[in-house]
Structure 1
Amino acid sequence: MRDAARRVPRWIGIGLFLYASVFALSAAKAFLVPVVLGFLLSMVFAPVRRALERLGLQSWLASFLIVLVLLCGFLGTVATLAMPVSTWIENAPRIERRVEVQLNGVSQSINEVFRANKKIEALASGSDDSGQKVQVEKGQSVTTQAAMLAPSMVAQLLFTFVLLFFLMASGDMFYEKLVHVMPTFRDKRRAVRIVYNAERKLSRYLFTITLINFGLGVAVGTAMLIYGMPDPVMFGVVAFLLNFVPYLGALVGIAAAGVIALLSFDWYGWSLIIAGTYLALTTIEGQLVTPYFVGRNLRLNTVVVFLTVSFWAWLWSAVGMIVALPLLVAVRTICEHIEELDHISAFLSERHAEELPAEPEDTPDAGN
């Protein structure tokens, strides 16, 4: 009875701590999102920076080149998607009418739903003309909201790249400080091993996934070009970006391909064919390509991955879905090297992954 009474305050404290942590992560989203992105990118590109330094470049110059390449890649992606997305937004009213026409031939019941919806809108607005006016005002409000959010997004982006530059330009200063504050030599060695292994695994994982996603984007774009879909380059870029989000990204891409095919062709069967093609390509990537090129020791528990992506999507929306998997890889790497947390590492791993031999550890000195 006394033991149970002693445990209650501890569990209450843990619960309050978790609640406060989630609240803090949500409340400080505008600040924490670029900070987390900056630290993750610095760990991913640290091996690249060291490779450039071995070629004779100074830390600041190597860091500047990496940030410049990342910034150019980001701006190129935005420029590629800007025109098609703006065109789809401008044609939203026409697209809505075409969806109604297409679905009218598929199911009479769905047609009745649209008719009922129109009647409700007419009753609410008073006339068709006023209803059209409401649609235009909604379109203007979306544009206004996008214009209002743009400065904040640009500021966060600039903050991320500036922080990334300073983190990488400082070299291994943070690691040296980390070693300095550790009390014993054993703790110093463990800290360096954790950091460098986390860097190595994050870099290997994300670079491999990026190449795989690039191949998937090329395959999807080529397939859309063969089918005669509009903006096949946009499809390729979107498939490349969405595939960084496990499970949910593929589902969104399949649904988007099916809907756009429904709008682009008179025969609704093309929607099923194109969505099925997208599904087949993502299935080949997820079941064959990724397991082959990504080592089993880097694969994670699928249920934990899905829950992690869902949690961070709820907390930080789209950015949360992107950082969820790298954060999970980093947490698992840390748990692997701490005996007290080894059971958490086994839980986060794929089935039987903990039975495989550990990878050889190439841990350099903190000062290198």
Structure 2
Amino acid sequence: MYQKKKRGYKPWIVMAAVLCFMVWLFYALGNILTPFIVAAVLAYVLNPLVEWLQRKRFKRGIASMMVMILALLVLFALLLIIVPMLIAQVGNLIDRLPQIVDFLQNVLLPWLNRVGGDFIDIDNESIVAWLQSHMGELSNTLKTVMSTVMKQSGNVVAGLTNLMLLPFLLYYFLLDWKRWSYGINALVPRRFIDGYTRITSNMDRVLGEFLRGQLMVMLIMGLIYGIGLMLVGLDSGFAIGMIAGILVFVPYLGAFTGLLLATIAAVLQFPSWTGVLMVWGVFGIGQFLESFFITPKIVGDRIGLSPFWVIFALMAFGQLMGFVGMLIGLPLAAVTLVLVREGVAAYFDSRFYKHK
């Protein structure tokens, strides 16, 4: 009688070893791999646009070049808008240090004493005297820090010259994406091709919906926060709003960071609490729209990546592999989600589960 040959553990051991080696390689070559990973993520997100242009009878090379130029123009435009605004805001903060001390002395500390009553005993004169005595030192420290940051930013820019490769890498990723996909598909043993096709299709759906949807949410929320803060008259409001929108991919971090920066700027700029309340209103409306309309409509609940797992993936892979880990944390979390679903489905369909 023919007996079915049991599949050994050797293939699984080899796969685990390859996976461990890949993780170690990402960790060891993190700085070198950064522009390649950035280009790969952008190419994955932008590849459907290249294919759409191909359907419009553009050649693959021309379509890839057009999409690459468009993506880089958008990125550089955002940098040219946001960075000068932030530098101006930091300079404004340094110039208004005396106003901050006056606000603490005449507004905040008296208010805390009135609210705290007997429970909080604040010595206004001692605190104000300390602030005034250290104001010059604090101002000089901030200026020194800014000077150091600017000098270090030159080193950072020199270190990021590798990103000059980004246009070329992005172009070749877009150009060869379909060929590489076919090549990997051809390497898969034919007895595994059905499972491979099903799993990779699910991964592509999850990753595509999450990454492209999240990028759209980031852009929309950046415009909502930025335009809203501009309308209330906040200096550098558009830059702060765009930063809040970019950080939306980490749940609540974007809104919290943007609210903190905007509140500090509003306290320094507006003479009354009305301006601060308007800034808070912008973020309240934005958070409401994001939570109940924008994110559910664009990304939806079909992906299954809860905020808990998003935060955990970003922190875990960021700790393990730095900036590269932050880049690949969410894609790996989505891939893991698909593999877990496949494992659970195989478990429920197994004899071990069904046998009574």
5 Å-filtered alignment, 1:213-224, equals: 213-224=218-229
Partner of 1:8: none
Q: CA deviation at 1:172?
A: 1.9
CA distance in 1, matches of 2:241, 2:50: 29
Q: CA deviation at 1:200?
A: 3.5
5 Å-filtered alignment, 1:156-171, equals: 157-171=163-177
Q: CA deviation at 1:308?
A: 1.7
Backbone CA RMSD of aligned residues = 3.3
5 Å-filtered alignment, 1:177-196, equals: 177-183=183-189, 185-196=190-201
Partner of 2:336: 331
Partner of 1:292: 297
8 Å contact from structure 2 (residues 61, 175) kept in 1: yes
8 Å contact from structure 2 (residues 314, 326) kept in 1: yes
Q: 1:297 to 1:167 in 2, by over 3 A?
A: same
5 Å-filtered alignment, 1:82-97, equals: 82-97=83-98
8 Å contact from structure 1 (residues 47, 200) kept in 2: no
Q: CA deviation at 1:21?
A: 8.1
CA distance in 1, matches of 2:230, 2:182: 52
8 Å contact from structure 1 (residues 59, 171) kept in 2: no
Q: CA deviation at 1:276?
A: 4.3
What is the identity, as a one-letter code, of the residue corresponding to 2:172?
A: F
What is the identity, as a one-letter code, of the residue corresponding to 1:146?
A: S
Q: CA deviation at 1:84?
A: 1.0
Partner of 1:106: 108
5 Å-filtered alignment, 1:178-327, equals: 178-183=184-189, 185-268=190-273, 270-314=275-319, 321=326, 323-327=328-332
Partner of 1:45: 46
The alignment covers a number of residue pairs equal to 317
CA distance in 2, matches of 1:324, 1:291: 22
Can you list the C-alpha shifts for 1:147-199, whole angstroms capped at 9, x where unaligned?
Answer: 111122242x333332222122114222222222222x242233334334433
Between the aligned residues of both structures, percent identity stands at 20
Q: CA deviation at 1:70?
A: 0.8
8 Å contact from structure 2 (residues 250, 310) kept in 1: no
Q: CA deviation at 1:281?
A: 1.4
Q: Which runs of 5+ in 1 are unaligned?
A: 1-13, 123-127, 344-368
CA distance in 1, matches of 2:100, 2:188: 63
Partner of 2:8: none
Q: CA deviation at 1:255?
A: 0.8
Partner of 1:9: none
8 Å contact from structure 2 (residues 42, 170) kept in 1: yes
8 Å contact from structure 2 (residues 314, 325) kept in 1: yes
Q: 1:135 to 1:47 in 2, by over 3 A?
A: closer
Q: 1:31 to 1:331 in 2, by over 3 A?
A: farther
Worse overlay, 93-102 or 146-155: 93-102
SS at structure 1 position matched to 2:249: coil
Q: CA deviation at 1:110?
A: 9.1
Task: Say which of 130, 146, 152 aligns to 1:145.
Answer: 152
CA distance in 1, matches of 2:319, 2:254: 15
Partner of 1:58: 59
Q: TM-score, length-normalised on structure 1?
A: 0.73
Q: Which runs of 5+ in 2 are unaligned?
A: 1-15, 111-121, 348-356
Q: 1:138 to 1:296 in 2, by over 3 A?
A: closer
SS at structure 2 position matched to 1:153: helix
Can you list the C-alpha shifts for 1:118-138, whole angstroms capped at 9, x where unaligned?
Answer: 65x59xxxxx6x776555433
Worse overlay, 22-31 or 190-199: 22-31
CA distance in 1, matches of 2:98, 2:88: 16
Q: CA deviation at 1:215?
A: 2.9
8 Å contact from structure 2 (residues 89, 236) kept in 1: no
CA distance in 2, matches of 1:254, 1:342: 46
What is the identity, as a one-letter code, of the residue corresponding to 1:182?
A: V
